[in-house]
Amino acid sequence: MIVSSIVLVINIFIHIMTSIHAQPMSFQIPPKMRAAQCTDYGKNVEEILSVPQEGTVDTPRLGIDKPPAAFKNEMLIKVQAVALAPGDARVMSGKTREFQGPPSFPYTPGGDVCGIVVAVPEETKKGGQCKFSVGDRVAARFMNKPLGMLGEYALCNTDVCDVVPQNVSSEDAAALVSSGMVAVVLADRIREGDRVLIYGAGGGVGSHLCQMARLQGASYVAGVGRDSERLMEAPLYCDYAVDYTKTDPFSVKEWCDKPFDVIIDLAGGAWPALLQHRSSGHPSIVKSAKSKGRYLTLTPDNPVFEIHKMRDFFKIFLFPSLGRAISSRIGLSRASMPKYSYVLALPETSEALTRTLALASEKKLIACIDEQGPFPFTSDGVRRAFELQASYHTKGKVVITVYSDK
């Protein structure tokens, strides 16, 4: 009788505990929140950008409010950290307003985010169940355009989103969700034994690509950037680096004597420089397409561009890329220039992001955050972060800590 009673009590206790743990986690979501507010286009962030000290901005409501970036398959997160990218500064400048501008002013900037899921849809737009649960800590990259994330709460897209491993900080996850993932995608094009030159190696993508190139099996990794010493230190570990403000990277004798298999141009302008050196009769620092040399880029020749009409897009992106790709494959340039490829390295599925976060969890890919940050979620902190991003001379990623439970 006593044994039966003890067994009964134990079973009741197990049932109660199981029921408790089976209850879905819930959050109290306030109607108002703090969020960065941009009131106009322009360069003077002191005039157009601020973060209110109190909650004055409507908290986005899942299923009612539409994301300002106009994507589908959204869920609501409590934001932990946001990483900036060139697109954030470009949107604020108004130079691509017809294509990337906000639906109205004031708007909340920010596209790459890490946060805690606080609400998920009952079903996705495709009719299935959301793959995330309330309480998950996730990282999501921007979709369509970088808008809406730099607040205490945000609607993020679930398509390019994944759960963040416990040993990866929210700031690191935000830094990696776009730039780290781009580095992983680009590294897939590097072959074992390649000699690799990364032009623009010190920025958000470059700082991670230096690591990925080595991980991919490159025999020699060189970097071009303003801080050449940093490029040869941990965790980038370039074999050699050049400060382009002091040395012409296209005339380095060692590189001319033993040219690269691939140049990855993250800063813009390397292709015209290669053409100029060829026309001057100088030896090239990269193998020709005929000798299996490659040139990969993510950006036009000038990374600071202005687009207001489709013809601007064709002139800046399509026509130069198409002409170079053709001439370096089947034209006369094949014998003297590398094979040109403009790489679209932001996939719309989460597979590459999953790989990126796994590499970070295994300490094989170290998130690189500019030493001036992470910036605080204040008017002054957010303004300084945007000024640094707009300078195009970041050392890694520009990250803002929105909330921390440390």
Under the banding of pLDDT at 50, 70 and 90, the label for residue 219 is very high
Q: What is the pLDDT of residue 269?
A: 95
Give yes or no for residue 324 having a pLDDT over 90.
Answer: yes
Under the banding of pLDDT at 50, 70 and 90, the label for residue 294 is very high
Torsion angles phi and psi, residue 6, rounded to 5: -65, -45
Name the 3-class secondary structure at 77.
strand
Q: What is the pLDDT of residue 337?
A: 96
Q: What is the pLDDT of residue 9?
A: 39
Q: What is the pLDDT of residue 128?
A: 78
Task: Give the separation between CA 363 and CA 351, rounded to whole angstroms.
Answer: 19
Contacts of 284 (CB under 8 A, 6+ apart): 256, 259, 274, 277, 278, 336, 337
What percentage of the chain exceeds 70 in pLDDT?
92
The CA-atom distances, in angstroms, between 70 and each of 41, 74, 78, 301 are 20, 10, 19, 29
Q: What is the pLDDT of residue 406?
A: 64
Give yes or no for residue 241 having a pLDDT over 80.
Answer: yes
Which amino acid, 188? D
The residue-averaged pLDDT of 361-369 equals: 98
- Segment among 25-34, 240-249, 261-270 with least mean pLDDT: 25-34
Q: What is the pLDDT of residue 282?
A: 87
Task: Give the separation between CA 264 and CA 213, rounded to whole angstroms.
Answer: 11
Task: Give the separation between CA 230 and CA 227, rounded to whole angstroms.
Answer: 6
More confident residue, 26 or 28: 28
Name the 3-class secondary structure at 188.
coil
- pTM for this entry: 0.91
The residue-averaged pLDDT of 92-98 equals: 95
Give yes or no for residue 11 having a pLDDT over 50.
Answer: no
Q: What is the pLDDT of residues 376-397, one digit of tens each?
A: 999 999 999 999 999 999 999 9
Q: What is the pLDDT of residues 257-290, one digit of tens each?
A: 999 999 999 999 999 999 999 888 889 999 999 9
> For residue 60, how many other CB atoms are within 10 A of its CB?
23
Give yes or no for residue 247 having a pLDDT over 90.
Answer: yes
Q: What is the pLDDT of residue 43?
A: 85
Give yes or no for residue 7 having a pLDDT over 70.
Answer: no
Q: What is the pLDDT of residue 12?
A: 37
Give yes or no for residue 255 having a pLDDT over 90.
Answer: yes
Contacts of 372 (CB under 8 A, 6+ apart): 384, 388
Torsion angles phi and psi, residue 33, rounded to 5: -145, 165
Q: What is the pLDDT of residue 51?
A: 97
Q: What is the pLDDT of residue 155?
A: 97
Task: Give the separation between CA 327 and CA 234, rounded to whole angstroms.
Answer: 39
CA-based nearest residue to 203, from 223, 181, 219, 221? 223
Task: Give the separation between CA 99 and CA 93, rounded to whole angstroms.
Answer: 13
More confident residue, 314 or 5: 314
Nearest-5° Cα angle at 313, 391 to 343: 75
Which amino acid, 357? L
Q: Are 202 and 371 in contact (CB under 8 A)?
A: no
Q: What is the pLDDT of residues 129-175, one digit of tens each?
A: 889 999 999 999 999 999 999 999 999 999 999 999 999 999 999 99
Q: What single DSSP character describes residue 66?
A: P
Average of per-residue pLDDT values in the chain: 92
Q: What is the pLDDT of residue 23?
A: 41
> For residue 63, how many other CB atoms are within 10 A of its CB?
10
Residue 202's DSSP bridge partners are none
Give yes or no for residue 214 having a pLDDT over 80.
Answer: yes
Task: Give the separation between CA 231 and CA 223, rounded to whole angstroms.
Answer: 7
Task: Give the separation between CA 287 and CA 294, rounded to whole angstroms.
Answer: 7
Q: What is the pLDDT of residue 22?
A: 38
How crowded is the C-beta side of 58, counted as CA atoms within 13 Å? 9
Task: Give the separation between CA 221 and CA 211, rounded to whole angstroms.
Answer: 9
Task: Give the separation between CA 175 and CA 182, rounded to whole angstroms.
Answer: 11
Burial of 187 (0-12, 13-18, 19+ CB in 10 A): buried
The CA-atom distances, in angstroms, between 296 and each of 134, 234, 240 are 40, 25, 20
Q: What is the pLDDT of residue 3?
A: 38
Give yes or no for residue 195 having a pLDDT over 80.
Answer: yes
